[in-house]
Structures are given as structure tokens and as C-alpha cells.
Amino acid sequence: MEYNIFFKEVFRLPGFWSELAKKCTFGLVSAGGDTAIKLAMWQHIYGGTWSPEDFADWNSYKHLLCAIMAFTPTAHLTVPFENARRAYYADKTWPVELRRNYTSPTQALFRIPFEEGPYHLVRGGFPIALNQWIFWTTYATIYTFHKNKYFFLWVYMDFGYDYCKIINQSIAFGIASVIAYPAYYTREMVDLWPKERGGHCTWNNEYRKCFRWMVENMDLLGYNFMTNYWQWMRRYGAIYFVGLWMADNMGMMSNCNEAYASLEQQNPIYTESS
């Protein structure tokens, strides 16, 4: 009964449905212009090493090199969407005479390049791009390495592939997100942390100096640089987890061009190379 009351009241909030539509639209736009392109580039690079039959290949250097080649030129794609989202919500806090009156994050994404210049969509992008590069490089490397390393669990030992997949993907995602998040957090450190006496920034408002300071002073026994980690998980983590799951279903994480010849589909007799 309480849940029914809760949801009825939530749905009656002013602007609930319009804001939900804006968030869904922007989510689709950002996923298509960011995550989808990253995974497509991964498929282009990793798929270029294809074999007629997808045999178990746990050469970790290949997985790592393919990840670096795929995500180095695409890591920055998140920056324009993040800046557009922030611009939309920040615009509501300015005095009326200074507002741009963006109606949605998607509109902000398309208006900013023409009204303020394309550079404004990529300003301050170092923490986000670095976070994305570390995350996706680690994520794809660990996932594909483990997929090839432990293929025998579902090919020979009859464990369900999806069961093995969710364990493998959860491990890869957890390691990648924890390693990559501190780079994302540098933006909050520079922008929001209290300044020194006289308003001076410890890192001269430079994200690179802040990240260098973070690495040199990182406390490996604490979680001081993991603050607001779950906020990042809600904003990006769910999309990235579902994105890789769907990419694997489409054969993008396999080393062959045909789905029926992939490790999760083929007959055991064809699994290992001769």
C-alpha cells in the first residue's frame, strides 16, 4: 500500500514526465554518440584479428593493445555530453538575465557549439577523458582475457554461459571502475574543494597537476579518492555494464566474424587451435 502511495505521488510531481523524457532522450543520444562508438571502434580493432573459428586465445598483450588502440582516440567522446548536461543544470542557477534558457541537456548539446563555440563543449575534459580511457581499456582487456582464459567452464563443463558471463563481467567492471574513478574525481577536487587562504587553488586550477598530486599522495588504505563513487555508478556505470553485455551478445567481444563460430556457440571440438 505504501509503495502505491509513493509512486502515485511521484508521478504527480510537477514536470515529472517531461523531465523523465528529457533524461531518456539525452541518455539515448549520449549512449549513441559515446558508448556505441567506443564499442564499434573496439570491434573494428579487435575484430581485425579475427579467425574463421574463434579459438581460445588468452594472449594478454593482444587484448591490451587492441583496447589501447580502440579507446585512445575515443576516450574524449564523453566530454561534450558531460559538459552539456552540466551546462543545462547550471543554467537554472544563474540570474535570469544571464541564463541561456536551455530546455534540455540535448538542446544544450546542440546550441553550445553555435552560441559559445565548439571549444566550450570540450573544456575541462582531461579528468573525464582520462577516466574513460583507464576504465574502458581495463574493462575490455580483463573481460576478453577472462572470456578466453576460462572458456572451458561453459564449453566443456556445461556451466551456463550467462552465469559465467555475469561473474566475469562483474569482476572486470569492478576492477576497471575502481581504478578509473579517481581520475574523474579530480574535477570535483579542483572545482569544489575549499581554496587556500586568499582564494588560491592548490593546483592552480589545473586538472593535470591535481591528478599528479593525487597519484603522488594516494592513500591506498583509505577511500578518500572514491568519494561519490556511487554517483558515478548511477550516471555511467549502469549504461556501461549493459552496453558491454549487449556488445557481447552481438559478437563484438569475440575473435571471429560469425556468431555461430564464437566461443559461446561452437562445438568443443573446434574450440582450441591445432
pLDDT tens track, the chain, 274 positions: 566 666 667 767 777 778 788 888 888 888 888 899 999 999 888 877 776 666 677 667 888 999 999 999 999 999 999 889 888 888 888 888 888 888 888 888 899 888 888 888 888 888 899 999 999 999 999 999 998 888 888 888 888 888 999 999 999 999 999 999 988 888 888 887 888 787 788 888 888 888 888 888 776 555 578 888 898 898 888 889 999 999 888 888 887 766 667 777 766 666 555 4
Does residue 7 fall inside a structural domain? Answer: no
Q: Residue 37: name the closest of 183, 176, 29, 172 by CA.
A: 29
- Angle between helices 36-46 and 60-71 in degrees, nearest 10: 140
How far apart CA 236 and CA 223 sit, in angstroms, is 20
Does residue 146 fall inside a structural domain? Answer: yes
Does residue 28 fall inside a structural domain? Answer: no
Does residue 273 fall inside a structural domain? Answer: no
- The pLDDT of residue 259 is 66
Does residue 24 fall inside a structural domain? Answer: no
Does residue 150 fall inside a structural domain? Answer: yes
Instruction: Yes or no: say if 35 and 135 are a contact pair by the CB < 8 Å rule.
Output: no
Does residue 25 fall inside a structural domain? Answer: no
- Give the count of domains, the chain: 1
Domain that holds residue 112: 38-266
Instruction: Yes or no: say if 263 and 271 are a contact pair by the CB < 8 Å rule.
Output: yes
- The pLDDT of residue 245 is 92
State residue 174 phi and psi, 5-degree precision. -60, -45
| Helix, strand, coil share of the chain (percent; to 5) | 70, 0, 30
Does residue 260 fall inside a structural domain? Answer: yes
- The pLDDT of residue 267 is 65
Please classify residue 48 by burial: count the beta carbons closer than 10 Å to its beta carbon, then call 0-12 exposed, 13-18 middle and 19+ buried. Answer: exposed
